[in-house]
């Protein structure tokens, strides 16, 4: 069932499975790409956003008179003045109410108003409170500093636990308190299992807020066509399709008159999977003035006004036998949503909710999450979204259990793995996993890491009391990808479907256009989709063009996030290719004067069985379909097909990562000596791209483990407010990685693919922190939280020594 | 306004600039060379790296007026006769870019390293790229691509 990567790809494939070089690269390598800030329109005005310097303050008035006297300033608009421009607030598409799954709720979701520009209260540092419009970037910036806002500072609520206290300041008075929801999922007899289990381990993990830091900041350009009432919006977004629907609702611009284009987009990692105030503002200003407008985010604004990720406190418990069989998992999560609910924020914990048991098979399972409002930047999806948190909780607690029982963490994992399977299989969280072979993945990772050798070296270092402690950590993981079956989303109260779409257009000259509903921003869909289309249609890779990211060109789509693009959009493409071939087969048979049943698809063409020289290629048929001189009676001219694919299930990539760290016990500094990632994302279209996704994900996961944390002061100011103070690792801090794969084809879809975009970020924080904890355990350190900065590690060592140092 | 005369990618250019105009916006908005990107406002990310008189600098940390009379190379100036430069080719062949936003600055920084240093090792490349942030690739393939290009270019030293 699990095969080597090479053996799984069919022999006949010419492109799929090969490391084809990317079609996207030439323009990106030569400075010819068109990112949002590269777009300039004649007569364009610049929009600037005045942001609250207070975490919580009443807005008593906005005075733009000083700003309006400055050169080039066209308008200053307060939240109150703009209030009439909105038909609805900014969207939250995943409102979740208190409930115990699967029992229906009798409570309505608690959804605070979220106006694009605040007019009663500012609720976080960075909350938009007014807008300026000027004739240049510099003049807009000058104007921002001259807008006088009368604030009445209020006490902020910043900590999730304090926020739930009865006397905490309220982020939204109308909601009564700061709780958004409590959502519970329970399978099996949890209370009984935990009360009867001979071993229970209990750990608390603080998972800090992270700042996504796509290297391209966000930006918006809007071109209005006043006479037609039409608007074209370019936005540095992952989700042009979702943005179009939701911004139409917010602004009242009919969806039929709004075109959204994602130009070249410089990374997202979830931060551009959102609908933001500035998009609505630019549409509103362009509508008011009838002129094109542009807003470009500065990095300092990005840190305040673009979503953060993570920000959870997790209480994790495992119930086990003395032999180490895990029988119960209980996870209780407090999630910091910040001041408002952004697009899918309430649903983020639910993306982890079903997989806190990891690759293991307990008989009792409880997940409970309470979402909380605080006076901080809203949180939402950041690469992995819910699944890194779940993986971190289970994998660190498994190690804690291993230490408690005096067992090797490898042995403990092996004992608890779900056995290999290739048909859908029920799991403790209630999902049906598609396929998996977890022992094979772990074996390969251990072999590549030379796990035994590392343990020997560790023993030697410990024996000689080496000040550089060696720590070995592993993390296995499961993720749910391929978002998502629309009916499941309905049950989870998501406000949209999970399908995606593809169109294939076969031109009479033999060229092929693929239109996809996914919206890549670095993932290489143009290349991978061309590989799929070329193989399925028997045409040259060079002859396939892939179009995306423009709602006028690709009207159907659900965009790119959650490792969904290949497992949903790619399968839509595969299905569209089958439709093309079905129609083409009838035309080819007609041309060859045989029955369609006499044709077989061989070597990329239709061939009369047993008569190799009687055949038709797709380009042959496309020409015949275009001339339409001789078609079967009920066949329409042209060769084009669209498929909208709604997946029957999620896909479940899995993997095993091994990390070796060296901890300087004098300084607390952690260095990564070795990082091995073995991932199983099912069949692979382009192994080079897959490897690149793992590299980037692992780097972000290592950063999460060792460096990154959004830190606030007691007044709610973001202290890590620039790239200087928020530490993103450079090449100098990171090692080269060892990557490999096992291949267990998905049973969810016909291509057997699963998805890989988030794998590295899901596994790495747990692998690295388990390694750090492993290094520190002999020093008596029992607790170390993210991120393991030198200071935190040094303090942990000092505290373990009883403060003597 | 002040008149600034520069040579960019071998072409003489002149323009009137505001004294506060940053070099990167002069290149992008006045000279139309949008290949050089802006990723931060603290001179940290290196997306705006260019060569100024042959040395790699962050063009967001200089004023346009400081470049007066000087020579610059941006990403647009690397191709010769329509052929990719060895570094551009190595980035392509080793999948050293994903979203591509940091890429122009990363390639120019790599060029600066190759021109400055003697032997480039994995470690010296990693240290030399400390001022350039990439969020997509984890640097693995960038380091590899620069090593490959350096090996190719070293005998001729550009």
pLDDT for residue B119 = 82
What's the rounded Cα separation, in Å, for the pair B120 and B61? 27
What is the full DSSP assignment across A352-379? HHTTTTTTB--SEEEEEEEEEE-SSPPB
Residue A117 predicted with pLDDT over 90: yes
What's the rounded Cα separation, in Å, for the pair A674 and A635? 60
Residues 6+ apart with CB under 8 A from B83: none
Taking an 8 Å cut-off on Cβ atoms, the answer to whether A299 and B93 are in contact is no
Q: Which residues of A touch B99 (CB under 8 A)?
A: 28, 214-216, 264-267, 521-522
Please state the separation of Cα A105 from the chain's center in Å.
28
Taking an 8 Å cut-off on Cβ atoms, the answer to whether B138 and A760 are in contact is yes
Residue located via tokens 């990539």? A653
What's the rounded Cα separation, in Å, for the pair A725 and A722? 6
Q: Which residues of B touch A266 (CB under 8 A)?
A: 37, 39, 99-102
CA distance B91 to chain A (A): 8
DSSP lists the bridge partners of residue A150 as A61
**Of A108 and B24, the one with more pLDDT:** B24
Q: What b/e readout covers A44-70, taking b as 16+ CB neighbours within 10 angstroms?
A: bbbbbbbbbbbbbbebeebebeebeee
Interface contact B98, partner A, CB < 8 A: yes
Please state the separation of Cα A538 from the chain's center in Å.
33
pLDDT band at A104 (very low <50, low <70, confident <90, very high): confident
Q: Which residues of B touch A299 (CB under 8 A)?
A: 39-42, 45
Q: Count Cβ atoms below 10 Å from residue A175 Cβ, excluding itself.
A: 15
Contact between A796 and A803 under an 8 Å Cβ cutoff? The reply is: no
Query: Average of pLDDT values for A698-709?
Result: 98
pLDDT for residue A4 = 39
Give the DSSP H/E element, type plus range, for residue B147. helix B140-153
Torsion sign over Cα A488, A489, A490, A491: positive
Taking an 8 Å cut-off on Cβ atoms, the answer to whether B134 and A524 are in contact is no
What's the rounded Cα separation, in Å, for the pair A154 and B111? 52
User: Pick from A22, A699, A723: which is nearest to B138 by CB?
Assistant: A699
Query: Which tokens sit at B94?
Result: 């080793």
Model pLDDT for residues A331-373, shown as the tens digit of each residue: 999 999 999 999 999 999 999 999 999 999 999 999 999 999 9
User: What pTM value is reported for the model?
Assistant: 0.97
Residue A59 predicted with pLDDT over 50: yes
Output the average pLDDT for chain A: 96
CA distance B156 to chain A (A): 23
Query: Which tokens sit at A577?
Result: 């290719």
Closest CA to A387 of A276, A479, A251, A502: A479
Q: Which residues of A touch B141 (CB under 8 A)?
A: 692, 695
What's the rounded Cα separation, in Å, for the pair A380 and A562? 12
CA distance B19 to chain A (A): 12
pLDDT for residue A454 = 98
Query: Average of pLDDT values for A523-532?
Result: 98
- A419: DSSP letter: P
Residue A10 predicted with pLDDT over 50: no
Query: Average of pLDDT values for A114-121?
Result: 97
Radius of gyration over every alpha carbon of chain B, rounded to an integer in angstroms: 15
B36: nearest CA in chain A? A31
Q: Which residues of B touch A217 (CB under 8 A)?
A: 38-39
Model pLDDT for residues A649-693, shown as the tens digit of each residue: 999 999 999 999 999 999 999 999 999 999 999 999 999 999 999
What's the rounded Cα separation, in Å, for the pair A668 and A788? 9
Taking an 8 Å cut-off on Cβ atoms, the answer to whether A28 and B100 are in contact is yes
Q: Provide the 3-class DSSP secondary structure of residue A704.
A: helix
What's the rounded Cα separation, in Å, for the pair A207 and A709? 9
Residues 6+ apart with CB under 8 A from A1: A420, A422, A435, A437, A744
A296: nearest CA in chain B? B38
Q: How far is CA A800 from CA A80, A776, A783, A784, in A?
A: 55, 10, 9, 11
Q: Which residues of B touch A524 (CB under 8 A)?
A: 98
What's the rounded Cα separation, in Å, for the pair A98 and A720? 33
What's the rounded Cα separation, in Å, for the pair B43 and B65? 18
CA distance B111 to chain A (A): 13
Give the A:B interface size as CB pairs under 8 Å. 182
User: Pick from A217, A265, A731: which is nearest to B142 by CB?
Assistant: A731
Residue A13 predicted with pLDDT over 80: no
Interface contact B103, partner A, CB < 8 A: yes
pLDDT for residue B118 = 72
pLDDT for residue A803 = 63
Interface contact B58, partner A, CB < 8 A: no
Model pLDDT for residues A149-188, shown as the tens digit of each residue: 999 999 999 999 999 999 999 999 999 999 999 999 999 9
Helices (H), B22-102: 23-25, 86-93
Model pLDDT for residues A14-31, shown as the tens digit of each residue: 999 998 999 999 999 999
User: Pick from B33, B47, B136: which is nearest to A522 by CB?
Assistant: B136
CA distance A214 to chain B (A): 6
What's the rounded Cα separation, in Å, for the pair A55 and A122? 7
What's the rounded Cα separation, in Å, for the pair A772 and A285? 51
Mutation choice for A interface testing from B24, B58, B79, B136 by most A CBs within 10 A: B136
User: Pick from B74, B88, B132: which is nearest to A29 by CB?
Assistant: B88
CA distance A294 to chain B (A): 14
CA distance B9 to chain A (A): 13
Query: Average of pLDDT values for A211-228?
Result: 98
Mutation choice for B interface testing from A20, A28, A218 by most B CBs within 10 A: A28
pLDDT band at A9 (very low <50, low <70, confident <90, very high): very low
Output the average pLDDT for chain B: 95
User: Pick from A265, A698, A731: which is nearest to B99 by CB?
Assistant: A265
Taking an 8 Å cut-off on Cβ atoms, the answer to whether B95 and A730 are in contact is no
pLDDT band at B155 (very low <50, low <70, confident <90, very high): low
Taking an 8 Å cut-off on Cβ atoms, the answer to whether B136 and A213 are in contact is no
Query: Average of pLDDT values for B106-132?
Result: 94
Query: Average of pLDDT values for A611-616?
Result: 95
Mutation choice for A interface testing from B61, B138, B146 by most A CBs within 10 A: B138
Query: Which tokens sit at A688?
Result: 């080079």
Interface contact B26, partner A, CB < 8 A: no
What's the rounded Cα separation, in Å, for the pair A278 and A90? 10
Model pLDDT for residues A732-782, shown as the tens digit of each residue: 999 999 999 999 999 999 999 999 999 999 999 999 999 999 999 999 999
Model pLDDT for residues A228-278, shown as the tens digit of each residue: 999 999 999 999 999 999 999 999 999 999 999 999 999 999 999 999 999
CA dihedral B42, B46, B51, B54 (to 10 degrees): 90
B99: nearest CA in chain A? A522
User: Would you call A171 exposed, middle or buried from its count of C-beta atoms within 10 A (0-12, 13-18, 19+)?
Assistant: buried
- A22: DSSP letter: P
- Percent above pLDDT 70 for chain A: 98
pLDDT band at A103 (very low <50, low <70, confident <90, very high): confident
Taking an 8 Å cut-off on Cβ atoms, the answer to whether B135 and A728 are in contact is yes
A27: nearest CA in chain B? B100
Counting every residue written for chain B, the total comes to 158
A26: nearest CA in chain B? B92
pLDDT band at A3 (very low <50, low <70, confident <90, very high): very low
B106: nearest CA in chain A? A29
Q: Which residues of B touch A267 (CB under 8 A)?
A: 98-99, 101, 135-136
User: Pick from A22, A731, A737: which is nearest to B129 by CB?
Assistant: A731
Q: Which residues of B touch A736 (CB under 8 A)?
A: 122, 140, 143-144
* ipTM exceeds 0.95, yes or no: yes
pLDDT for residue B154 = 81
């Amino acid at each position: 069932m699990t095969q080597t990567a090479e053996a799984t790809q069919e022999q006949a494939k010419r492109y799929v499975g090969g490391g084809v070089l990317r079609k996207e690269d030439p323009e990106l390598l030569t400075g010819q790409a068109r990112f949002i800030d590269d777009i300039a329109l004649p007569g364009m005005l610049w929009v600037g956003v005045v942001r609250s310097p207070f975490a919580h303050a009443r807005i008593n008035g906005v005075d733009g008179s000083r700003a309006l006297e400055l050169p080039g300033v066209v308008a200053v608009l307060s939240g109150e003045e703009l209030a009439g421009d909105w038909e609805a607030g900014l969207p939250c598409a995943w409102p979740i109410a208190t409930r115990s799954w699967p029992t229906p709720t009798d409570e309505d979701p608690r959804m605070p108003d979220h106006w694009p520009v605040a007019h009663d209260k500012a609720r976080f540092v960075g909350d938009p409170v007014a807008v300026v419009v000027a004739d240049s970037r510099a003049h807009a910036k000058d104007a921002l500093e001259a807008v006088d806002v009368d604030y009445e500072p209020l006490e902020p609520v910043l900590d999730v636990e304090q926020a739930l206290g009865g006397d905490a300041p309220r982020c939204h008075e109308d909601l009564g308190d700061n709780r958004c929801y409590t959502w519970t999922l329970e399978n099996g007899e949890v209370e009984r299992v935990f009360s009867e289990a001979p071993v229970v381990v209990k750990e608390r993990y603080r998972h800090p807020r992270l700042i996504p830091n796509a290297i391209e900041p966000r930006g918006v350009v809007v071109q209005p066509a006043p006479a037609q009432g039409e608007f074209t919006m370019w936005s540095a977004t992952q989700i042009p399709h979702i943005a179009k629907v939701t911004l139409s609702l917010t602004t009242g611009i009919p969806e039929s008159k709004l075109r959204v284009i994602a130009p070249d987009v410089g990374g997202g990692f979830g931060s551009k999977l959102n609908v933001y105030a500035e998009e609505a503002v630019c549409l509103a200003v362009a509508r008011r003035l009838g002129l094109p407008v542009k807003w470009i985010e500065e990095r300092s604004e990005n840190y305040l006004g673009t979503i953060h990720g993570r920000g959870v406190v997790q209480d994790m418990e495992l119930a086990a036998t003395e032999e180490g069989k895990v029988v119960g998992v209980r996870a209780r999560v407090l999630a910091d949503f910040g001041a408002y609910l952004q697009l899918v924020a309430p649903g983020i914990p639910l993306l982890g909710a079903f997989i806190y048991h990891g690759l293991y098979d307990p008989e009792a399972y409880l997940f409970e999450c309470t979402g909380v409002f605080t006076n901080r930047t809203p949180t939402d999806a950041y690469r992995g979204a819910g699944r890194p948190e779940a993986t971190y909780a289970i994998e660190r607690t498994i190690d804690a259990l291993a230490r408690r029982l005096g067992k090797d963490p490898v042995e403990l994992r092996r004992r608890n793995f779900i056995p290999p399977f290739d048909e859908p299989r029920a799991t403790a969280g209630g999902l049906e996993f598609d396929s998996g072979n977890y022992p094979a993945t772990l074996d390969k990772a251990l072999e590549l890491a030379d796990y035994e050798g590392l343990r020997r070296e560790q023993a030697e270092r410990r024996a000689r009391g080496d000040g550089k402690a060696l720590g070995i950590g592993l993390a296995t993981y499961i993720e749910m990808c391929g978002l998502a079956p629309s009916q499941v989303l309905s049950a989870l109260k998501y406000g949209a479907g999970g399908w995606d779409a593809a169109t294939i257009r076969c031109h009479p000259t033999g060229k092929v256009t693929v239109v996809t509903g996914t919206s890549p921003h670095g993932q290489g869909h143009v290349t991978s989709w061309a590989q799929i289309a070329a193989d399925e249609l028997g045409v040259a890779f060079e002859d396939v063009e892939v179009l995306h990211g423009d709602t006028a060109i690709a009207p159907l789509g659900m965009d790119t996030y959650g490792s969904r693009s290949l497992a949903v959009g790619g399968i839509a493409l595969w299905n569209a290719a089958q439709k093309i071939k079905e129609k083409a087969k009838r035309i080819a048979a007609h041309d060859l004067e045989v029955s369609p049943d006499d044709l077989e698809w061989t070597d990329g063409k239709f061939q009369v069985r047993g008569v190799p020289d009687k055949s038709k290629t797709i380009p042959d048929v496309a020409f015949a379909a275009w001339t339409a001189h001789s078609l079967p009676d009920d066949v329409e001219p042209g060769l084009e097909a669209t498929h909208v694919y709604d997946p029957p299930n999620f896909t479940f990539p899995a993997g095993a990562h091994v990390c070796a760290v060296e901890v300087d016990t004098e300084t607390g500094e952690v260095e990564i000596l070795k990082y091995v990632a073995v991932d199983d994302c099912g069949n692979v279209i382009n192994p080079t791209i897959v490897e690149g996704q793992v590299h980037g994900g692992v780097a972000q996961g290592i950063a999460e483990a060792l460096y990154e944390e959004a830190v606030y002061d007691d007044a709610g100011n973001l202290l890590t407010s620039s790239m200087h103070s928020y530490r993103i690792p450079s090449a100098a801090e990171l090692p080269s990685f060892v990557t490999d794969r096992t291949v267990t084809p998905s049973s969810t879809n016909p291509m057997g693919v699963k998805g890989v975009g988030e794998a590295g970020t899901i596994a790495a924080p747990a692998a690295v922190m388990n390694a750090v904890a492993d290094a520190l355990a002999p020093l008596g350190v029992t607790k170390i939280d993210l991120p393991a900065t030198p200071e935190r590690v040094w303090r942990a060592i000092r505290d373990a020594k009883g403060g003597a140092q | 306004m002040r008149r600034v005369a520069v040579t960019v990618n071998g072409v003489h250019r002149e323009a009137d600039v505001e004294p506060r105009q940053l070099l990167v916006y002069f290149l992008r908005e006045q000279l139309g060379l949008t290949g050089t990107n802006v990723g931060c406002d603290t001179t940290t990310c290196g997306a705006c790296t260019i060569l100024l008189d042959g040395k790699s600098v962050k063009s967001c940390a200089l004023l346009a007026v400081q470049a007066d009379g000087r020579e610059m190379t941006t990403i647009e100036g690397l191709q010769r006769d329509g052929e990719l430069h060895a570094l551009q080719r190595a980035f392509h062949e080793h999948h050293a870019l994903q979203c591509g936003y940091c890429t122009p600055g990363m390639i120019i920084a790599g060029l600066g390293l190759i021109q400055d240093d003697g032997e480039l090792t994995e470690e010296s490349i990693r240290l030399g790229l400390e001022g350039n942030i990439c969020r997509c690739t984890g640097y693995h393939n960038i380091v590899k691509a620069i090593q490959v290009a350096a090996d190719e270019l070293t005998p001729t030293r550009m």
